[in-house]
Amino acid sequence: MPSDIEIARATRKRPIADVAARLDIPADALIPYGADKAKIAAPFLQSLHGRPDGALVLVTAVNPTPAGEGKTTTTIGLGDALNRIGKRAAICIREPSLGPCFGQKGGATGGGHAQVIPMEDINLHFTGDFHAITTAHNLLAAMVDNHLYWGNALDIDPRRVVWRRVMDMNDRSLREIVTSLGGNGAPAESGFDITVASEVMAILCLASDLEDLQARLGRIIVAYRRDKTAVTCSDLKADGAMTALLKDAMQPNIVQTLEGNPALIHGGPFANIAHGCNSVLATKSALKLADYVVTEAGFGADLGAEKFFDIKCRKAGLSPKAVVIVATIRSLKMNGGVAKNALGGEDLEALQRGCENLGRHLENIALFGVPAVVAINHFVQDTPAEVALVQDYARAHGAEAILCRHWADGSAGTERLAQRVVEIVERGGARFAPLYGDELSLMEKIEAVARKIYRADAVVVGKSIADRLARWEKDGFGRLPVCMAKTQYSFTTDPTRLGAPTGHEVHIRDVRLSAGAGFVVAICGDIMTMPGLPRTPAAERIGVDGDGEIVGLF
């Protein structure tokens, strides 16, 4: 069986101008990065204002397991299938992070016959967006330290510098560091987060244009003075230089699927420590260019979909028309208690137990007023009895579950899913509304997510955290949404509690104010904003062969 990279290399790539033309994007609106990828120029995007919007379709999933779910693969397969049945469709997904690529997850460009290409470029440096975000973030960190070194005219309290550094790689040794050793200023405790957790990443993905980008960057809180008032990026006069670094990164990237259909790939905030969606600019532009836009939100629906609805859609004025929940028989059996090495055999009892996880996500999506369909991402080991069980379970919960074979068959294997999505959209049953209102307090918003989505009995916060939330409300940030940073593996903060647990508590370990992005991050349990590499990282398998071709990347 050929590997993903072998399938991708065997595919004839169309010139990127031909791919863009399928969305009526003229060649002179492209900024080429080689023959097969390009950025879409800002002036053309600005000319799209006033056009009607297409239908926005979200692809989300059950809680992830080591068995895999295939959310990106399904997103690509659905986009291809919509084009196959005669709809003008575009795909909008996130750019992969180098951390997971060289860590445990591997690449994030789909798989089999449902991929975006050139997969090596997209998974590695692509068009340099992540490097620009990393550099802009760390420029601000350097300017904070430089301000302290040259006299501290803003009276920053060195103990209350909250702006850490970032890099686009998993590196647990950098979570906590001490800076300015060797006589280069006053030593201070700090640390690194991964780039996808940067507020600059979140800002780029939520900004509408360069002017909005600079305004948001200027609002970033980097430290507090001795009188406890906030010091912002604009106070340090760093927002202009950061905007200059991000000017090209703000323009969405266009590539193609294996079937030659257009895909916009832009931005990449993580869904367990950020809001997990591609950029608002790419999504809103695609909606002006296509009749159907298929996008995804990271990890399970309790994280990615909730943040897509409560942060991205709320802030950008988006109104999704349908949701696809991806599940595999394998992942549901793992949620039912089957070990990864025992997934090959039929186990209807475990599958029935694991379907509770799917049922919980169906119930949660209904809270937002958007109709859902289930995509069963097919594996060759799946038995007819197992598929029928999941379909019966979904039907009992008011949804259709459709077997999808896009990995093996491309768009032909997802045609029925595309038809069902069109039926849902054309029926017009979506009545989207966020989970909570802007008027609730920050603590009430955290509790709304914990109780309604996670089914927690209580939210536990310490006095210092409660005091910070109250202070931020007093300072005018009370109407912001909340971004829950939580393990992706469970509805709880314990990654080992699979299925659909109830009767648990959500412990809030820390809160961070992302004033520029426009949300408050609540860090739950032991979630890390700088992941580590696994015992056997994917980097050990990646290299370059004698012909100069990259190998081991998937």
Which one of the listed residues 14, 22, 94, 219 is annotated catalytic?
Answer: 94
Q: What span, in angstroms and rounded, lies between the C-alpha atoms of 191 and 255?
A: 35
Give CA separation, 459 vs 306, 349, 359, 497, 506, in Å.
Answer: 18, 33, 23, 17, 5
Provide the residue type at 53 as one letter: D
Which one of the listed residues 130, 163, 192, 299 is annotated catalytic?
Answer: 299
Which one of the listed residues 8, 271, 327, 448 is annotated catalytic?
Answer: 271
Q: What are phi and psi of 453, to 5 degrees?
A: -95, -50
Of 332, 277, 297, whose CA–CA distance to 65 is shortest? 332
Burial, 124: exposed, middle or buried (Cβ in 10 Å; 0-12, 13-18, 19+)?
Answer: middle
Which one of the listed residues 60, 73, 414, 492 is annotated catalytic?
Answer: 73
Residues 6+ apart with CB under 8 A from 357: 62, 63, 332, 335, 498, 499, 500
Q: What span, in angstroms and rounded, lies between the C-alpha atoms of 402 and 405?
A: 10
**Does residue 150 have an active-site annotation?**
no
**Does residue 407 have an active-site annotation?**
yes
Q: Give the relative orientation of helices 129-149 and 239-246 as an angle to the nearest 10 degrees.
A: 160
- Mapped onto helix, strand or coil, the DSSP state of residue 81 is helix
**Does residue 94 have an active-site annotation?**
yes
Which one of the listed residues 379, 477, 491, 519 is annotated catalytic?
Answer: 379
Which one of the listed residues 22, 71, 87, 164 is annotated catalytic?
Answer: 71
Q: For the stretch 353-368, what's the b/e string if a residue is b when 16 or more beta carbons lie within 10 angstroms of its beta carbon?
A: bbbbbbbbbbbbbeeb
Which one of the listed residues 130, 308, 407, 491 is annotated catalytic?
Answer: 407
DSSP character for 80?
H
Which one of the listed residues 105, 420, 452, 509 is annotated catalytic?
Answer: 105
**Does residue 13 have an active-site annotation?**
no
Question: Residue 81 corresponds to which tokens in the numbers above?
Answer: 């299938």
Question: Residue 108 corresponds to which tokens in the numbers above?
Answer: 């994030």
Do the Cβ atoms of 41 and 300 come closer than 8 Å? no
Q: Give 427-459 as a 3 state SS string.
A: HCCCCCCCCCCCCCCHHHHHHHHHHHHCCCCEE
Q: Give 97-166 as a 3 state SS string.
A: CHHHHHCCCCCCCEECCEEEECHHHHHCCCCCHHHHHHHHHHHHHHHHHHHHHCCCCCCEEEEEECCCEE
Q: Which residues are catalytic?
A: 71, 73, 94, 105, 271, 299, 379, 407
